[in-house]
Amino acid sequence: MKTVAIYSSKGGVGKTATAVNLAYTAAASGKRVLLCDMDSQGAASYYFRIRAKKKFNSQKLLAGDFVKYIRGTDFINLDLLPAHFSFRNLDLALNSLGEKERRMALAKLLKPLDEDYEILILDCPPNLTLLSENIIEASDVLVCPVIPTTLSLIALEQLLKLFGKLEADKGKILAFFSMVERRKSMHTTVMEKYRKYPLFLKSAIPFLAEIEKMGISRLPVGAVIKQSPAAQEYTRLWQEIWKRSKTL
């Protein structure tokens, strides 16, 4: 099982759009996929029209009592662990664990899913907290969407810094340019400057109205029009991530 976290400490960079579409693409390629919505805002769950059961909460998640709350989606091979509003307290709950366990808790929780899924995709909240440290420890690959602007790059730098602090393997960070608007000179300048770094993937996701409209369709872009430009871009991105993940 490969665990792929879609992570950035910056909000609104396209994490959820990426997590939803990559999960859909990976499942469509025949792999058994579980998308875990780790963000209490529940945006990924919303896109799949799934709400967590009232009985589910962050305490149950941390106690390992969550498998029964996993739901099937409308798509073959793709299941979802919905977010619950109480996930906003995940950091507090993690903090109350013993020093040794507190950073590895999520990794330990996700491990048993190994038998049922080939790929886990985590849609992460925009944090730089103990939950982020858990996400780093639990993931084989961290995919960081970067809008080609200064603030998004700062979030990537912060992530590299956190990896340094944790003495984690920076090789598992993969960044890609998100919401790219080629008519904006700042976007093209930033991309030219940074794309030479091996941590940047060659694939980039343009700013496209079809992706923006997911809030209305509540479907992954490939489920609206199979071969649409956006669906093709996410397929390309997924193929590159999958290929790179095998070398990690």
Ligand X SMILES: Nc1ncnc2c1ncn2[C@@H]1O[C@H](COP(=O)(O)OP(=O)(O)OP(=O)(O)O)[C@@H](O)[C@H]1O
Binding site for ligand X (CB under 6 A): 11-17, 39, 43, 126, 179, 205, 207-208, 211-212, 214-215
Per CB under 5 A, the segment of 14-22, 60-68, 71-79, 177-185 that binds Mg ion is 14-22
CB of 98 to ligand X, least distance (A): 30
Q: Which of 198, 208 has the CB closer to ligand X?
A: 208
| Measured CA distances, 183 to 95, 179, 207, 229 (Å) | 45, 12, 11, 18
Per CB under 5 A, the segment of 42-50, 55-63, 86-94, 140-148 that binds Mg ion is 42-50
Strand, coil or helix: 159 = helix
Q: Which of 170, 218 has the CB closer to ligand X?
A: 218
Per-residue tokens: 61: 């998640």
Q: Which of 34, 124 has the CB closer to ligand X?
A: 124
- Tell me which of 3, 8, 9, 16 binds Mg ion, using CB under 5 A: 16
Q: Which of 13, 105 has the CB closer to ligand X?
A: 13
Place of tokens 């962050």: 58
- The amino acid sitting at 109 is L
Parallel, antiparallel or unpaired: strands 78-81 and 71-72:
antiparallel
Residue 30's binding partner among ligand X, Mg ion, none (Cβ under 5 to 8 angstroms by kind) is none
Q: What angle do CA 87, 46, 244 make, to 5 degrees?
A: 80
Pick from 239, 185, 180: which is nearest to 13 by CA?
A: 180
Per-residue tokens: 18: 């990426």
> Which parts of this chain interact with Mg ion (CB under 5 A)?
15-16, 43
